[in-house]
Structure 1
Amino acid sequence: MRTVSAAETAPTTYAWAVEAAGLHVKAGRHLAVDGLDLRLGTGVHALLGPNGAGKTTLMRALATVIKPAGGTLTLLGEAVDGRADLRRVRRGLGYLPQQFGFYPRFTVREFVEYMAWLKEMPKAEIPGAVQRAVDRVGLAAKANARMKTLSGGMLRRAGIAQAIVNDPAVLLLDEPTVGLDPEQRLDFRELLRDVGVDSCVLVSTHLVEDVVAACTDVVVMNEGRLVFDGPVDQMIEQGGEGDAGDSAAERGYSALVRRHRKATR
């Protein structure tokens, strides 16, 4: 019997969970992400930008749904390109798109179990992982309810549950608070902070107040390009009294986008 070394049993570590250099991604024929340089590690990162900025296309590329058209993309230490075997990477991802499909007659538990199976989780671990995920999003009382009977906010929480069921190293959430009421959004922020202790979380949102409450830093995009990447406080400092917005964070965000538009015209 061979002795297993400590190096073989040690958890895999990466300098960055997500690393992109000169990344180009197309949405159809349109170049939606244009030469993006980005590095993300453990923590909760916000992704902000106006409609059409390329946020959803970037999310889809990070989720390995679409292939980059140029540049390099590395997820969990593995290059993502046309030749890569993405199964190992995908086992470490959690992804909630803006709109996700489901079988209406599945119960919440069956839906999350099915997604765990698709992520190739060990069979013995799935029941416990599903229960934890459902509990964490506040759907324990609805675990046996059919998906077609859920409200919009409950459906969104079921979507979050499937995204976190495998305890992903990289969690990608595209507009996750759509349909959530104020109390549910507070619970969601707490969940983000909890997951972000050990994982890299990227949250695309239009709600700047969620960014301030739950995120450590911000990535701002406009017209497919990186506008800003840094701590929330530094984004806030970019704004002034003359900038659009009802809060200091909104003014900082709008100032960054306005300056980028002016510089690229």
Structure 2
Amino acid sequence: MIRAVPAAELAPTTHAFPVRARGLRVRAGRHLAVDGLDLDAAVGVHGLLGPNGAGKTTLMRALATVTRPAGGQLEVLGHRVHERGTDLRELRRALGYLPQHFGFYPRFTVREFVEYMAWLKEVPRREVAGAAQRAVERAGIADRADTRLKTLSGGMLRRAGIAQAIVNDPAVLLLDEPTVGLDPEQRLGFRDLLRDLGTGCCVLVSTHLVEDVAAACTDVVLADAGRVVWQGTPTELAAAGGTGDAGDSAAERGYSALLRRARQGVAA
């Protein structure tokens, strides 16, 4: 007897919060860089701001399953990353990750590199070429697809890194300082790409560029000393500052004000 399969069983699994952390602790070497961090991240674009040493890169590495948590709880797409023995292979197929410094084979062309990363992420073989072409087009580097990586400028190389991060149409996309080396025109294009990606994906972008967050993100996460000290919208960020706060824009003044209040123990 053939059983009719309900549509609910065929639909992809969804999560109210693709990323959830409670009391998360993560080490960077011997240093506890993330210490008691709580975070909920839904579908949309989340801008992760904070000073150097705030634990942003270490958090991104933990979310990407590169670094195991030292304590607390971390769930990504329902997978408990904090539990040893968890099989992370299925999760990694659904992730996209661009680290601050990513490795590559210099003699690869952009296309070869992105196709290779698609293969590593277990994209079906018959879909690899098409997925790579779509990724380089979305990253704005299609005209350099057959150029060797070693000949690219820093900005173009960064765009190749973005292409490999999105080649598998990830459910969670992690971008650590993605606009380093991009010129102003390229950054504007990147903002458009973020807005597009955030309609169906949970995107976390770690950056020092407050204006990029204000322009492209639906949510802002401010971290300091290994913890989230504030979370809200770009509008709320801009409204948090005053004329006496450091910064050349409302968003930068809000960032300075919120960071100062957090360090003083004052509620935002």
Q: Same fold (TM over 0.5)?
A: yes
Superposed CA offset, 1:198-255 (max 9, x none): 0000001111110111001100001111110111111222211111101110011011
Match of 1:117 among 95, 116, 119: 119
Q: What is the aligned partner in structure 1 of residue 58 from structure 2? A: 57
* Aligned-partner residue type, residue 171 of structure 2: A
1:263 Cα deviation from its structure 2 partner: 2.7
Superposed CA offset, 1:47-81 (max 9, x none): 00000000000000000000011111111112112
1:4 Cα deviation from its structure 2 partner: 5.0
Query: Aligned to 1:153, what secondary structure does the other structure show?
Result: helix
Counterpart CA distance in 2 for 1:260 and 1:139 is 41
Counterpart CA distance in 1 for 2:246 and 2:4 is 60
Q: What is the aligned partner in structure 2 of residue 223 from structure 1? A: 225
Counterpart CA distance in 2 for 1:3 and 1:105 is 52
1:158 Cα deviation from its structure 2 partner: 0.1
Q: What is the aligned partner in structure 2 of residue 234 from structure 1? A: 236
In the alignment, is residue 43 of structure 1 matched against residue 44 of structure 2? yes
CA RMSD of aligned residues (A): 1.1
Query: Aligned to 1:117, what secondary structure does the other structure show?
Result: helix
What are the equivalent positions in structure 2 for 1:63-82 lying under 5 Å apart? 63-80=64-81, 81-82=83-84
Q: What is the aligned partner in structure 1 of residue 192 from structure 2? A: 190
Counterpart CA distance in 2 for 1:67 and 1:24 is 9
Q: What is the aligned partner in structure 2 of residue 155 from structure 1? A: 157
Task: Compare 187-196 and 136-145 and name the one that shifted more.
Answer: 136-145
Counterpart CA distance in 2 for 1:32 and 1:164 is 27
Counterpart CA distance in 1 for 2:178 and 2:232 is 22
Counterpart CA distance in 2 for 1:2 and 1:245 is 66
* Aligned-partner residue type, residue 63 of structure 1: A
Q: What is the aligned partner in structure 2 of residue 5 from structure 1? A: 5
Q: What is the aligned partner in structure 1 of residue 22 from structure 2? A: 21
Superposed CA offset, 1:93-137 (max 9, x none): 000000000000001000001101111111111110000001111
Give the TM-score of the pair, scaled to structure 2: 0.96
What are the equivalent positions in structure 2 for 1:83-162 lying under 5 Å apart? 83-162=85-164
Task: Show structure 1 runs of 5+ residues with no match.
Answer: none
1:140 Cα deviation from its structure 2 partner: 1.2
* Aligned-partner residue type, residue 237 of structure 1: A
- The count of corresponding residues between Structure 1 and Structure 2 is 264
Counterpart CA distance in 2 for 1:248 and 1:139 is 33
* Aligned-partner residue type, residue 42 of structure 1: V
Q: What is the aligned partner in structure 1 of residue 213 from structure 2? A: 211
Q: What is the aligned partner in structure 2 of residue 176 from structure 1? A: 178
Counterpart CA distance in 1 for 2:28 and 2:116 is 29
Q: What is the aligned partner in structure 2 of residue 34 from structure 1? A: 35
Task: Show structure 2 runs of 5+ residues with no match.
Answer: none
Counterpart CA distance in 2 for 1:46 and 1:114 is 29
Superposed CA offset, 1:170-202 (max 9, x none): 000000000001110010000000000000000
Counterpart CA distance in 1 for 2:20 and 2:31 is 23
Counterpart CA distance in 2 for 1:237 and 1:197 is 25
Q: Identity of aligned pairs, percent?
A: 72
* Aligned-partner residue type, residue 22 of structure 1: G
